[in-house]
Structure 1
C-alpha cells in the first residue's frame, strides 16, 4: 500500500523543512500534522492537495513515485489531469481516495 506519511516526510526532508515550517507554509496546524504521524493516520485528500500545493507539485507527482498499482487506466488518467477536473469530479475522487486510505 502507498505510504502517504512516508511520502510527505520524504518531500519535507528533501526541502530541509521542519514540521513547523511545513505547517506554517501550508496553513495546516502543526498539531494536526503531528497527530497524523503519532496515530499513523493518513490525512484526508483535501489536506494532501494543500500539501501538494505547498510542495509545488501536482497530486499526480505526489503519487508518481509508485507505479499506481491497482489503479485502472481511467483512474491514472484522472490523476494526471487533476487541474482540469470540475469540483464535482474532484469531490468524487476525494470520496474514493478517502475510502481507500481508511481501509488499510
Structure 2
C-alpha cells in the first residue's frame, strides 16, 4: 500500500474530510484531490504534518508498521500482536479504531462508577445517625 493509499484509508476510516487536511496543511484542496486522483504521494516535507493531522506515526504512514520495541511481552500480548500482524492495512486501521473506542468507553464507565461511589458516600455522610 502506498503512502497516499494509506492516507486515504485512514481518512475514510476516521471520517475525515480532505478539505480539513488541506486547511491543516495550509494548501489548496485541489492539491489533495490531485494526490488522490493520480495516486501520487505528498511531498516529503508535508508528511510529518499529515501524521499530526491523522494522529499516526511517520513510520506507520510510510511503512504501515510501527517500530519494534524491546518491551517484554507476556504470552497473551504476543498472541494478540501475531494476530494483528496477519491483518491487512485496512483491517489494522479498523481494529485500532475499535480499540480506541473501547478505551474511551472504559474511561467513561470508570468515571460513572466514581460518580456513583461519590454520590453514595455523600448520602452516607449527610444521613443523620
Normalized against structure 2, the TM-score is what?
Answer: 0.44
Report the Cα offset of residue 51 of structure 1.
0.5
Q: In the alignment, is the contact (CA less than 8 A) between 1:12 and 1:22 conserved in 2? A: no
Q: How many residues align?
A: 69
Report the Cα offset of residue 65 of structure 1.
2.4
More helix by share: 2
Say whether 1:3 aligns with 2:14. Answer: no
Q: How does 1:3-22 map to 2 (within 5 A)?
A: 3-22=2-21
Q: Which has the larger radius of gyration?
A: 2
- How big is each residue's C-alpha offset from its partner over 1:64-87, in whole Å with a ceiling of 9 and x where there is no partner? 4259xxxxxxxx79xx9xxxxxxx
Distance 1:36 1:64 in 2: 18
Distance 1:33 1:21 in 2: 10
Structure 1 residue ranges, 4+ long, deviating more than 4 angstroms after superposition: none
Q: How does 1:87-102 map to 2 (within 5 A)?
A: none
Unaligned regions of 5+ residues in structure 2, if any? Answer: 70-129
Q: Secondary structure at 1:16's aligned position in 2?
A: coil
